[in-house]
Amino acid sequence: MNEQVSVLDQGLDFGASLEQRNKVLRNTYGLLAISLVPTVLGAWAGVAFGLGQLFSGALGMVLFLAMAFGFIYAIEKTKNSASGVPVLLAFTFFMGLMLSRLIASVLGFKNGPDLIMTAFGGTAGVFLAMAALATVIKRDLSGMNQWLFVGVVILLVGGLINMFVGSTVGMMVLSMVAIAIFSAYMLYDIKQIIDGGETNYISATLALYLDIINVFQNLLALLGIFGGDRD
């Protein structure tokens, strides 16, 4: 009898846990969709007023990294309070400003708007594929984190080197590797929510947002290199 009660209690705990995971997943997807609005507004403001130039060159990169890590720190500090969502949305506006320099460059092509929409559609496709894959994979993917982090560090070092070298081939290689790494990060981050490894929807949204932005940015850069039409 005691064993039956114990099994029943475990089942109730599992049900509550599953309900909590689904709630975090729903809230994450909802906030992720909302976060795209300030991103678009930031990109528009950056293109319209040339604010994206603030992040050009080595000093611009230092400024961007300082502000980005400052925002990420603030989001993590406020994720359990009412100010967590506004801070996150402010960060997504800032990321839109950062993207505006690349977007303005792509808009210089005759087919620029088409390239942007293609990059957006491609990023959405990657996200949907990773979300679907995360729901069917049964194995624990937590071990991926350390390898993906090493990949990001290598990307940062490679990007800094290529900033001084100015190699188009190097940029292409880095962009393709970045798309692969951050697509894998999407899978990892969604699986973390599904498995209960991430229970705060603001942190979960931040992680997925960064994955999406990095895939979009690098896909757009590749499309600009291969498909840009200046005629």
Per-residue pLDDT tens for 191-208?
999 999 999 999 999 999
Per the structure, how many domains does the chain have? Answer: 1
Instruction: Answer whether residue 47 is part of any domain.
Output: yes
The pLDDT tens digits for 10-42 are 443 444 388 899 999 999 999 999 999 999 999
Q: Phi and psi for 198 in degrees, rounded to 5? A: -125, 120
> Is 45 a member of any domain?
yes
Is 12 domain-assigned?
yes
Task: Report if residue 135 sits inside a domain.
Answer: yes
- DSSP-based three-state secondary structure for 70: helix
pLDDT digits (tens, 9 = 90+) for 95-152: 999 999 999 999 999 999 999 999 999 999 999 999 999 999 989 888 899 999 999 9
| Residue 32 belongs to domain spanning | 2-107+118-227
Q: Say if pTM beats, i.e. exceeds, 0.85.
A: yes
- 3-state class (DSSP) for residue 230: coil
